[in-house]
Structure 1
Amino acid sequence: MTSDSPDPSRRKDLRVSHAERDAVVERLREAAGEGRLDLDELESRVGLALTAKTYGDLEALTADLPPQPPPRQEPPLVLKGGLNGASRTGRWRVPEHITADGGLGGVKIDFTRADCPLPEVRVEAHGQAAGVTIVVPDGWMVETSGFDPAIGGLKDKTDHDPLPGTPLIRLTGNGGSAGVVVRHPNRWERRKLERNPPNTSLG
């Protein structure tokens, strides 16, 4: 019986990609920053990594370095409308995952002044009794194919013409009885932005 999977014992002889070379270069630079490699070692190993042809070539360059710990998972941002409502506006740092429950008071999430270095953000919104409003800057794309409108529905007022390098908001959840609205800033919000332009650098 034949298999298309490569023999693990031959992995060291398989050819590597540009992305895999770049990943090793990044690991070497991190190791130098940690004090594990001096500058001469870094320069030598980076040169070898950039010209490596096989996995064996790359693995030899990091064999004496400890494995990297898995990336720390940032907890999701949870907003619950409750009786008085909830909002996240102004300057704030965007996590990978946001959950918004409209409750009886509603929830507003305003990304127009937020610091968002992420290429994609998952927003799980449940309209419930009072609804959820999501405000995104011009040029941001919102993907709504995974959202269930339910009774309250979904009003997507974004222009679906993303600018290069802007985040994607991937919306899931359901409209509940009050629905979810996704839009760009309204006239009043735009006036506030013009008077005080957003500064997304939070340091």
Structure 2
Amino acid sequence: MSDGKDAQDPSQLRISDSDRHKVAEVLREAAGEGRIDFEELDQRLEATYAARTYADLVPITLDLPVHGAANLPTQPATASMPSPVVAGGPAEERHLAIMSGLERKGVWTVPARMTVNCFMGGADLDLRRAQFAAQEVVITINAVMGGADIKVNPHTEVIMEGTGIMGGYSGPSGHTDAELDANSPVVRIRGFALMGGVSVSRRRAPGAPSGPGRELRPR
């Protein structure tokens, strides 16, 4: 049962089948122009038809040209970007990479708590078009003679709490400034790197329009 808060946030309003069809048409047009491949088209279409609110649709077309915006469903204007936080996301995930790799990219949902253990292996987590199961998620990465590369967009706040032992925990780096507001998700990264490394870079999603940067707000 709703507590009434969703009704005050336009991004959390329910979308219609017509809204889903509009987004699907934009995706098919992008695929026809070669902007996304057919595998990614299938992934985004699946996410589109599974979407329930306007916020669910935002990451799906975030990196596509603005000329397609006229075909997209509209919602009441807000002072800040719609929140990428979605209800019903996974509470916890655990992954193990032993002399192998873990890759997550595109449109996916970051669980409230995620643990990745890398032993002579690596992890590539691209959060730039991701949704989040909570306003603040915790990602624990333990890397032993391995490493992890995490990418976030300008609208995601990152708090680094990892420890490096003959290794390093670093970030967020890059030439893209943070652009944070009240709806920005918080990613808290913990764990240790033993003879390995965990790095975070901030960059825009491929094809996303550039915008004015702002410094990371203090917490």
The TM-score by the shorter chain falls in which range?
0.5 to 0.7
Shift of 1:162: 2.9
Give a deviation string over 1:65-115, Cα, whole Å, max 9, x none: xxxxxxx99442222222221111112112100111222220111111212
Structure 2 counterpart of 1:83: 99
Counterpart secondary structure, 2:128? coil
CA contact (8 A) 2:158 2:188 kept: yes
Q: Say whether 1:172 aligns with 2:181.
A: no
How far apart, in 2, do the equivalents of 1:113 and 1:79 lie?
Answer: 20
Q: Say whether 1:129 aligns with 2:145.
A: yes
Count of aligned pairs between the two proteins: 123
Kindly report which structure 2 residues correspond to 1:104-143, keeping only aligned pairs within 5 A, or say none.
104-116=120-132, 118-143=134-159
Structure 2 counterpart of 1:26: 3
Pairing partner for 2:169 from 154, 162, 175: 154
CA contact (8 A) 2:89 2:109 kept: no
Structure 1 window deviating more from structure 2 (129-138 vs 154-163): it is 154-163
Structure 1 counterpart of 2:112: 96
Q: Which amino acid aligns with 2:194?
A: G
Larger radius of gyration: 1
Extract unaligned runs of 5+ from structure 1: 1-22, 28-71, 196-203
Give a deviation string over 1:15-74, Cα, whole Å, max 9, x none: xxxxxxxx9x939xxxxxxxxxxxxxxxxxxxxxxxxxxxxxxxxxxxxxxxxxxxx994
Shift of 1:185: 3.1
Extract unaligned runs of 5+ from structure 2: 5-87, 210-219
Q: Which amino acid aligns with 2:3?
A: E
CA contact (8 A) 1:140 1:163 kept: no
